[in-house]
Amino acid sequence: MPLTYNEMSVGNTLPPYTAGPMTRTHFVRYAGAAGDFNPLHHDETFVRAIGLDSVIAHGMLIMGIAGEAVCSWIDGKNLRKLSTRFLSMTKPQDWHNPENTKSRATIVVTGKIVKIYQENGEKLMKCDIIAKDLLGSRKLDGFFIAALP
């Protein structure tokens, strides 16, 4: 059910949005869709040579998940701005040792309303967002502004 202006208050939280667990296959599929084949995202030999222990997700994949979360809360046509900054790397689920890394590959996006206002005839909401893995590691934060009916 879409959010409405009269239902929203500063401090309200939005329902958590969960994506994952993500695997190397998700990273490779995203690389194909984005046309970004940086070996950092798919080549184990390369990442070990530069000192990492695993490939990492594209930052824009995590931002896409945040955008998906926002559009689960509001109708996408009402989105006026989405701004994020990347905070840490996301590794894929490790099928060889799922007890150790499974929760690092699941992303949960949460949101909190920080401002309700009107501008240029529109009823608007500003909401802070954060994406974390299940271990609590922050992957990105930011905000969105949306018009509300």
Distance from C-alpha of 86 to C-alpha of 139, rounded to nearest angstrom? 6
Q: For the segment 77-127, what is each residue's pLDDT rounded down to a tens digit?
A: 999 999 999 999 998 876 555 565 556 789 999 999 999 999 999 999 999
Read off the pLDDT of each residue in 26-40 and give the average, rounded to a whole number: 93
The pLDDT, as a whole number, for residue 97 is 58
In whole angstroms, give the CA distance from residue 24 to residue 132: 19
Q: How far is CA 119 from CA 93, 122, 123, 126, in A?
A: 44, 5, 7, 12
84-98 pLDDT per residue, tens: 999 999 988 765 555
pLDDT for position 34: 94
Mean pLDDT of 24-39: 92
pLDDT confidence band for 5 (50 / 70 / 90)? confident
Domain spans of the chain? 5-147
H/E segment holding residue 130: strand 122-133
Mean pLDDT, residues 41-48: 93
- Per the prediction, the chain carries an average pLDDT of 90
Domain 5-147 has CATH 3.40.50.10470: no
The answer to whether the predicted template modeling score (pTM) of the entire model surpasses 0.75 is yes
Cα distance between residue 148 and residue 80, in whole Å: 10
pLDDT band at 16 (very low <50, low <70, confident <90, very high): very high
Determine the pLDDT at residue 88. 94
How far apart CA 133 and CA 44 sit, in angstroms, is 22
Round to whole Å and give the CA distance between 30 and 58: 8
| CB neighbourhood size of 138 (10 A) | 12
Report pLDDT for 102: 54
Contacts of 26 (CB under 8 A, 6+ apart): 57, 61, 92
